[in-house]
Structures are given as structure tokens and as C-alpha cells.
Amino acid sequence: MERAPRIIILGDGTAGLNLANKLRKLLSVDDAFITIVGNSHRHYYKGDGFLIPFGYKKPSESYKPIDFLLSPKIEHVRDEITGIRIKDRTVLTRKKTLNYDFLVIATGARLAYDKVPGYLGEAKHFYDFEHSMELRGILDQFKGGTIVVGTCQANVPCAPSVFEFSILLDQYLREKGLRDKASIKYIYPQEKVFPIDEMVPVMEKLLRDSEIEIETGFEVDSIIQKNHEIHSKSGKSINYDLLVLVPPHMGQNFIAESGLENVDNFVTVDKNKLTPPEHDEIFVIGDAANLPIPKAGSAAWMQAEYVAKEISRRVGKIMVGSEYEGDVGCTLYTGNGTGLTIYFNYSKRPKVSKPRRFDYLLKKMESDAYFSVIARGMI
Ligand SMILES: Cc1cc2nc3c(=O)[nH]c(=O)nc-3n(C[C@H](O)[C@H](O)[C@H](O)COP(=O)(O)OP(=O)(O)OC[C@H]3O[C@@H](n4cnc5c(N)ncnc54)[C@H](O)[C@@H]3O)c2cc1C
């Protein structure tokens, strides 16, 4: 009897966990070996980066052990991935060499601090658990001054994050009675406050209503630590007392050495099939993929849905094929107990509704839903 195909998933984050669990539901242990490779000990829900800095969430509720989320019928190799040898269909980790029939790359993005001189040791952010906790301590001690909030790139995972953080910062400072002692400046690399045109008037109004100053066209060049000054590529500079800056993102280093076509180590893929050119046996999902849509967890789950079905079809367990249509959904915090949801894909432009209480509650519940349903691959 022919052996069952071996599916290797690289990355034990949002996309990898969701896909591994979905695949295991579609394919029995006799249908396929499934291995997930990653270097995390626990899985953190990144969306809580909006709540932890303001003390709006108990930090211990924001992560779970990986093995608690992963089906026991999936092999988990906890190790660092060091390379892919595409010709041999093997993956190298520090300790092992693994063969695959299907490979899924879901290794997300890395924070590339070195691209901005002066970033390290000066700017703060909320893009991982440790830095969100650091920011929580700093905001707790904050007594007043200028807070600059910005991003080095527009296309970072969770593109609206700078907007959401700014709005929540305004709310937090008002609650603490510090708003009249603080100014908030929102800096953005593009000539508008957000890349999606339909969102621009809504966001601009909410920022202005919150008395947040807006500086668009501010492409970050460098930070002069001794002067507490941030400089743009066009020669503008802004002084700050606290700088909250989303760092540049790149794909993982081993992608560059794999020979796969990429942009900043994000793998170039067919936008409907999620496979790199001439490699039908490889799929790329989540932040690791170079796609013409924003990087988001919701996009990653929907990509995982497509890939789980496509691999199951190729293994002979599903008859009907499909394609990934570029679906992304996103619920944003819009302040004062309201939220706003947008949904779009490659062919549908987003419809923007008014901020509502319902969407805020939806977003607040997301982390519970995330650990109980989404990471476990139920949707
Ligand atoms: C503050 C914040 C708020 C967000 N809010 C939302 C939101 O509200 N809605 C939404 O849809 N999205 C949101 N996102 C975006 C979402 O979290 C990401 O798009 C999502 O996590 C991408 O999943 P991923 O699996 O591609 O990457 P990740 O979740 O980052 O997983 C990558 C995994 O690969 C592993 N890995 C990488 N390199 C190696 C290696 N060499 N060896 C071994 N393992 C490796 C990592 O350890 C990690 O486990 C938010 C992001 C942030 C930062």
C-alpha cells in the first residue's frame, strides 16, 4: 500500500494552528501525516495588543499553551526552521530534516527594527506580548506630554492598528484625567490617514473628534534619541515625549535563502491558488504571503480554509475544487464603547457602516472566540 502523504506546516501561529486543525478534521490519520513546526511555547492573541497597554485586559488571558489548541493527532515539532530545500522537498530545522509531499509556509512576519536607525532602545510598540506589557508600565507612569503614534509602513499586519491605538489612547487619557496635559499626534506614511479610501473620511472624523493631530505623508527615516525627535524621509521632524511606532515588518530570513520568489522575504504567490510560481506542492498563507490585500488574522483563517480543502481534494477526499477570493474581514475599535466592521475581497470594495456598540462587543469577545473556536480550526 502506498504511504499516506506527509503535510508539513511551517509556523505555529494564527494561520498554522488554524490550518493544521482544519486539515485534521478533513483528513484522518490514515489519509495524511500532519506535522506543524514552530518555535513558540505558547500562543498569544495579538489583537489584545490594543487592550493590554491600557490595562483593559488581564494579560494572563491573552495566551494559551500551543498543545492546548492543537489536535493531539497532529505532530508538533518545536524547533527553529532554518531552511527549505525545494528540490529535495525537505525542510531543515536546528535538529531535524523533514520530508514533505505538501508544504505550507505560515511563518508570518518578523519585526525589522534595524531598518530604522535609532528605533531600538527608544520607540515603543504593542505588536507582541512583551512590548505591550512594557507599554502598559510606561502608560501607567505617564503624567503628560506629547505622544506620537505611527507606523513605519502602511502594509503591516492589522493595518488599522495605529488608528485604533490612537483612539483608545485618547479614551484612556480622558479616563485618567490626563487628556488636557497630553497631546496625541497621528503620523502616517501615505498622503491619507489609511490606505482604503472608503475608510478615510470616517477615520479622519474620529481622529479629529478625539482631538488627535494628523500628520500624513510622514515616511519614517530615523529617530534621534538624544533630542527625542523622529525624522521623515522628506526632511520633516517631530518632537515627542513618548513615541509609539509600529516597526517595519519583513518575512523570515530563511525565505530569502530558499530560492522562492519574494518581496522583502514575503513569498510571491498566485493570488487565487496561494502557490508560488511552478510549485503546486507549496502553499503560503497568512502574513508570510505577498498578496494584494492587507495582512490580517481573518485573511489567514480564510486562506487556511481554502488550502485545507485544496490539499484534501488533491489527496482524493473532496471532489469539488475552489479558489481563494481574497476575503478579509476586520472589526475596529472606534472608541467610547463602539466599533466598526468592514469586509471586502479582490472584487468587492468595502462597505463602511457607522460605529456601533454591537461591533465593539464583537471585537471584545474576539479573543475568547479566538482561543475556543478559531485557533482550533472550527471556523
Ligand atoms: C496589535 C495587533 C492587533 C491585531 N488585530 C487583528 C484583528 O483585530 N483582526 C485580524 O484579523 N488581525 C489582527 N492582527 C493581525 C494578525 O494577528 C496577523 O495577521 C496574524 O497573526 C497572522 O498570522 P500568521 O500565522 O501568518 O503569523 P503569526 O501569527 O505571527 O505566526 C507565525 C508563526 O511562525 C513562527 N515562526 C516564524 N519563524 C519561525 C522559524 N524560523 N522557526 C520556527 N517558527 C517560526 C512564529 O513563532 C509564529 O508562531 C493583529 C496584529 C497585531 C500585531
Res. 180 pLDDT band, cuts 50 70 90? very high
- pLDDT beyond 80 at 144: yes
Task: Convert the pLDDT of each residue in 251-261 to its tens digit.
Answer: 999 999 999 99
Q: What does the pLDDT read at residue 227?
A: 98
| pLDDT, average across residues 140-167 | 98
* Distance between Cα 3 and ligand 1 center (Å): 33
| pLDDT, average across residues 154-160 | 97
- What torsion, rounded to 10 degrees, do the Cα atoms 262, 18, 113, 276 define? 0
Res. 161 pLDDT band, cuts 50 70 90? very high
Q: What does the pLDDT read at residue 41?
A: 87
**Both ends of the chain: CA-CA distance in Å?**
34
- pLDDT beyond 70 at 28: yes
Which is the closest atom of ligand 1 to the Cα of 287? 26
Q: What does the pLDDT read at residue 1?
A: 45
Q: Whose CA is nearest to atom 29 of ligand 1?
A: 13
| pLDDT, average across residues 357-379 | 92
| pLDDT, average across residues 246-269 | 98
Res. 364 pLDDT band, cuts 50 70 90? confident
Bridge partner list, 105:
10, 284
3-class secondary structure, 87 = coil
| The pTM of the whole model exceeds 0.95 | yes
Res. 176 pLDDT band, cuts 50 70 90? very high
Q: Which of 21, 95, 107 to mutate to test the pocket of ligand 1 (most atoms within 8 A of CB)?
A: 107
Task: Convert the pLDDT of each residue in 31-40 to its tens digit.
Answer: 999 999 999 9
Task: Convert the pLDDT of each residue in 223-233 to its tens digit.
Answer: 999 999 999 99
Residues with CB under 6 A from ligand 1: 11-16, 38-40, 46-47, 49, 80-81, 106-108, 126-127, 157-158, 161, 252, 254, 286-288, 295-298, 300, 330
Of the candidates 317, 320, 289, the one whose C-alpha atom is nearest the C-alpha of residue 303 is 289
Range of lowest pLDDT (74-83, 143-152, 165-174, 357-366): 357-366
Q: How far apart are CA 212 and CA 209, in angstroms?
A: 8
Helix axes 161-175, 200-209, angle to 10 degrees: 20
- Domains of the chain, each with CATH number or no CATH: 6-50+62-109+251-326 (3.50.50.60), 113-249 (3.50.50.60)
Res. 369 pLDDT band, cuts 50 70 90? very high
User: Residue written as cell 505577498?
Assistant: 290
Mean predicted lDDT score pLDDT of the chain: 96
Of the candidates 122, 123, 111, the one whose C-alpha atom is nearest the C-alpha of residue 149 is 123
For 259, phi and psi rounded to 5 degrees? 90, -5
| pLDDT, average across residues 5-13 | 98
List alpha helices for the chain, DSSP H.
14-26, 66-69, 129-141, 161-175, 200-209, 253-258, 297-314, 357-369
Q: What does the pLDDT read at residue 368?
A: 83
Q: Whose CA is nearest to atom 5 of ligand 1?
A: 47
Q: What does the pLDDT read at residue 345?
A: 97
